[in-house]
């Protein structure tokens, strides 16, 4: 089951990568503010809860997603200027 957990954690962590790549190429993101804000709140809240269990596949997922989200939010903020 641990291997399945890692596979799921890696896949979930990588799901934001295509949008990050698009943002790098185009200089903007297609994500709405609503999606970015709700996704960020969800990731941070779940990371805080997961810090109690320290299940590494989920921690990996949350940390990678928070990094990707930070970049996407930064791109979204640049769009507004």
Say which CATH number the domain at 24 has: 1.20.1280.290
**pLDDT band at 12; cut points 50, 70, 90:** confident
> pLDDT averaged over the chain?
90
CB atoms within 10 A of CB 66: 16
Q: CA distances (Å), 72 to each of 11, 25, 37, 59, 62, in order?
A: 18, 12, 11, 20, 15
The pLDDT of residue 63 is 92
Dist. CA 47–CA 64, nearest whole Å:
11
Segment holding 79, helix H or strand E: helix 56-79
**pLDDT band at 71; cut points 50, 70, 90:** very high
Domain of 57, in residue numbers? 2-79
The pLDDT of residue 36 is 94
Contacts of residue 65, defined as CB under 8 A and 6 or more positions apart, other chains included, come to 12, 13, 16, 39, 43
How many domains would you assign to the chain? 1
């Amino acid at each position: 089951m641990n291997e399945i957990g890692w596979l799921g954690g890696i896949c979930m962590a990588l799901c934001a990568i295509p949008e990050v790549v698009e943002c790098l190429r185009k200089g903007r993101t297609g994500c709405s503010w609503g999606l970015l804000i709700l996704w960020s709140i969800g990731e941070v809240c779940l990371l805080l809860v997961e810090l109690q269990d320290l299940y590494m596949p989920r921690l990996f997922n949350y940390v990678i997603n928070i990094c990707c989200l930070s970049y996407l939010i930064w791109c979204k903020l640049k769009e507004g200027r």
